[in-house]
Chains A and B, each alone.
Chain A
Amino acid sequence: EPEVTQTPSHQVTQMGQEVILRCVPISNHLYFYWYRQILGQKVEFLVSFYNNEISEKSEIFDDQFSVERPDGSNFTLKIRSTKLEDSAMYFCASTDSSYNEQFFGPGTRLTVL
């Protein structure tokens, strides 16, 4: 069964460093998303991406964040200068239709020291 994959599973970084989180969505999916979940809190929407551009972004997704689909398979989230409060689980999701269920990857746990 096709699945969304994410790398790395755990990333530790120093405050102020740049990180890139990588995702490979399901191959025939067209809509891509990033969500995050701070430990013990709810899953929060960050950004949606369709047709090679951002469709919507949340207030969390400020100028420190960017997304890219550099080739036909990868979807990346870059955090330019990490802060302590960026420590969270980051989930990539994809779907083949804007009103169908989204399939989530296993997540990348980001720890900012």
Chain B
Amino acid sequence: QKEVEQNSGPLSVPEGAIASLNCTYSDRGSQSFFWYRQYSGKSPELIMFIYSNGDKEDGRFTAQLNKASQYVSLLIRDSQPSDSATYLCAVSWYSSASKIIFGSGTRLSIRP
């Protein structure tokens, strides 16, 4: 069974600080890694994706991938109240119509 594990939180971070979200995955063959943001009652919205070991930065967001440790993280710099949401870590594979396996999400709360 391919699993994606996340701390459910809630993670409370003061406004302007760095929020750090972590995720581990069980299948060493996983090839694509995603972070989605989900507001309550809404659909998942892609924040970042990463395929290679190392860091990938996009604005205030940095995704980090360590395939040897089977570990993915997301850093959010200068956290804003609008960043308060559930963050879903997800993995996929390079195969035809490959599904995405999601973690259960980490609830992030940015306190003013």
Chain A residues packing against B (C-beta within 8 Å): 31, 33, 35, 41-45, 48-50, 55-56, 58, 91, 93, 98-99, 101-107
Pair B95/A42 contact, Cβ less than 8 Å? no
Pair B42/A99 contact, Cβ less than 8 Å? no
* Chain B residues with CB below 8 A from A48, complex form: 97-99
Q: How many whole Å from B30's CB to the nearest CB in chain A?
A: 11
The answer to whether the Cβ of B46 comes within 8 Å of any Cβ in the partner chain is yes
Given contacts A101-B46, A104-B44, contact A43 B102 (CB under 8 A): yes
* Chain A residues with CB below 8 A from B105, complex form: 42
Q: How many whole Å from B51's CB to the nearest CB in chain A?
A: 8
The answer to whether the Cβ of B31 comes within 8 Å of any Cβ in the partner chain is yes
Chain B residues packing against A (C-beta within 8 Å): 31-32, 34, 36, 42-46, 49, 88, 92-105
| Closest A residue, CB atoms, query B99 | A45
Q: How many whole Å from B109's CB to the nearest CB in chain A?
A: 17
Given contacts A91-B43, A101-B34, contact A42 B104 (CB under 8 A): yes
A48 vs B31: C-alpha distance when bound (angstroms): 18
